[in-house]
């Protein structure tokens, strides 16, 4: 059983519950199919995804077959070359997907209408949402215009960055002290040192760390992975404090499966850590019941909105790990998840945007609308 180090505005225990550790070996490798295979469509596409995911999670079939299937899925879901959305032909599948998950820009008035009389609380992923996906994760800088858009939004709405990155690292990218930061997939949360009084019911800063006892283990695995992956050109291991990321965007495709097997071999000695997959990245996390969805609930409760009907949470993200937050909002029947994606894929989000540029435009429009409300009194 893990301990929790929590200092919050009020007693925020109801949303946290008990953090459980799953030590089962079956939890070791839980890959996430982040985007569908382009050649498949409709229900057949979704069914094939689920079957592949189940096979990988349960270890069904031979190791070579699983690795091959994983490589095929990764290739289709994470195109190497970034293309302008204007240059991408819209397929029948994409058109159908847009009808299910319409653009948050094209349906902006619907979102604004739903927010009337409510406090918007904004949750933002970082990589692929506020910054483009780049080959070197250390170079994933957000633009000056994006930073200004986030700053302007935070002036009107409580705003949190929820990232798989180390909290300190994502703060150094964003550099806005007035925000809430949830790093390591929500396992490391800290609020602004001087939160706005109108959003808070207490005077204490928010601090939450879900898995401090895992830190020595994480550091040990990090050192081992650095050594084991050093022979694979392009592989990069990133220590995000409460989790690790093994980036393979710059690794030759023919070596993806070998890299994955190397990581799995290391983790076989650590049953309390699990492996999931993102966009050309392997994520290693403690097997505790905590994710970005739990972080969203914790922050809403910290702000005093846990049981409020006068709040509209909006979560914008691009990765499989953001689905936990999308699902929380869908289950609450309150707020909207917005998926950032250029390709059709299954999601629990309500709306979509295609790239960080559209995220910036959405944030700007929220600010313009807020200013209009203020002028109208």
The structural domains of the chain, with segments of one domain joined by +, span 94-173+307-376
Parallel, antiparallel or unpaired: strands 5-7 and 119-124? unpaired
pTM equals: 0.78
pLDDT at 83: 45
Q: Which residues of 270-292 are buried (b: 16+ CB within 10 A; e: fewer)?
A: bbbbbbbbbbbbbbbbbbbebbb
Q: How far is CA 64 from CA 70, 134, 324, in A?
A: 10, 29, 30
Q: How far apart are CA 130 and CA 317, in angstroms?
A: 9
For the chain, what is the radius of gyration of the CA atoms? 20
pLDDT at 91: 79
Q: How far apart are CA 358 and CA 57, in angstroms?
A: 34
In the chain, which stretches have pLDDT less than 70? 1-90, 194-205, 377
Token duo for residue 37: 């295979």
Which residues have C-beta within 8 Å of that of residue 334, sequence separation ≥ 6?
A: 309, 311, 312, 313
With contact defined as beta carbons under 8 Å apart, do 180 and 208 qualify? no
With contact defined as beta carbons under 8 Å apart, do 28 and 267 qualify? yes
pLDDT at 7: 38
Q: How far apart are CA 356 and CA 141, in angstroms?
A: 12
Q: According to DSSP H, which parts of the chain are helical?
A: 13-16, 42-58, 63-77, 92-100, 108-115, 144-156, 167-174, 215-228, 256-267, 292-302, 323-332, 356-376
Q: Is 274 helix (H, G, I), strand (E, B) or coil?
A: strand
pLDDT at 52: 39
Q: How far apart are CA 15 and CA 238, in angstroms?
A: 30
Catalytic positions, written as ranges: 125
CATH number among 3.40.50.1000, 3.90.105.10, 3.40.640.10, 3.40.190.10, domain 94-173+307-376? 3.40.50.1000
Q: Give the residue from 253, 243, 248 showing the smallest Cα distance to 287.
A: 243
Burial class, 344, CB count within 10 angstroms (exposed 0-12 / middle 13-18 / buried 19+): buried
Token duo for residue 236: 């990069």
Q: Is 64 helix (H, G, I), strand (E, B) or coil?
A: helix
Q: What totals of helices (H) and strands (E) does the chain contain, helices first?
A: 12, 13
With contact defined as beta carbons under 8 Å apart, do 114 and 334 qualify? no
Q: Is 162 helix (H, G, I), strand (E, B) or coil?
A: strand
Parallel, antiparallel or unpaired: strands 119-124 and 159-162? parallel
Q: How far apart are CA 69 and CA 79, in angstroms?
A: 16
pLDDT at 36: 36
Burial class, 247, CB count within 10 angstroms (exposed 0-12 / middle 13-18 / buried 19+): buried
pLDDT at 74: 59
- Per-residue pLDDT tens over the stretch 184-233: 999 999 999 766 656 655 445 678 998 899 999 999 999 999 999 999 99
pLDDT at 205: 67
């Amino acid at each position: 059983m893990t301990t929790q180090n929590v200092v919050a505005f009020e007693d925020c225990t109801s949303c946290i519950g008990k953090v459980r550790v799953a030590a089962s070996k079956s939890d070791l490798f839980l890959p996430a199919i982040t985007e569908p295979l382009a050649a498949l469509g409709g229900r057949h596409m979704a069914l094939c995804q689920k079957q592949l995911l189940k096979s990988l999670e349960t270890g069904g079939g031979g190791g070579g077959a699983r690795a091959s299937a994983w490589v095929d899925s990764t290739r289709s879901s994470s195109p190497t070359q970034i293309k302008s959305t204007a240059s991408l032909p819209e397929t029948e599948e994409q058109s159908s997907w847009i009808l299910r998950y319409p653009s948050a820009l094209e349906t902006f008035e619907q979102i604004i209408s739903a927010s009337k009389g409510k406090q918007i609380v904004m949750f933002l992923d970082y990589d692929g949402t506020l910054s483009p996906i780049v080959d070197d994760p250390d170079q994933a800088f957000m633009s000056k215009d994006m930073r200004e858009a986030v700053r302007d939004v935070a002036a009107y709405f409580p705003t949190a960055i929820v990232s798989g990155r180390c909290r300190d690292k994502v703060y150094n990218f964003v550099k806005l002290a007035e925000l809430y930061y949830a790093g390591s997939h929500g396992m490391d949360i800290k609020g602004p040192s001087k939160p706005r009084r109108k959003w808070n019911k207490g005077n204490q800063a928010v601090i939450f760390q879900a898995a401090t006892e895992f830190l020595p283990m994480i550091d040990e695995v990090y050192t081992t992975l650095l050594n084991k992956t050093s022979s694979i050109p392009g592989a990069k291991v990133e220590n995000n404090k409460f989790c690790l990321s093994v980036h393979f965007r710059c690794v030759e495709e023919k070596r993806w499966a070998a890299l994955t097997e190397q990581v799995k071999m290391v983790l076989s000695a650590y049953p309390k850590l699990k492996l999931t997959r993102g966009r050309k990245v392997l994520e290693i996390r403690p097997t505790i019941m905590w994710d970005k969805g739990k972080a969203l609930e914790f922050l809403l409760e910290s702000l005093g909105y846990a049981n409020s009907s006068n709040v509209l949470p909006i979560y914008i993200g691009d990765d499989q790990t953001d689905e936990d937050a999308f699902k929380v909002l869908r289950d609450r029947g309150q707020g909207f998840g917005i998926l950032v994606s250029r390709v059709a894929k299954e999601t629990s989000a309500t709306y979509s945007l295609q790239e960080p540029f559209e995220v910036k435009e959405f944030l700007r429009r929220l600010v313009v609308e807020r200013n209009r409300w203020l002028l109208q009194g």
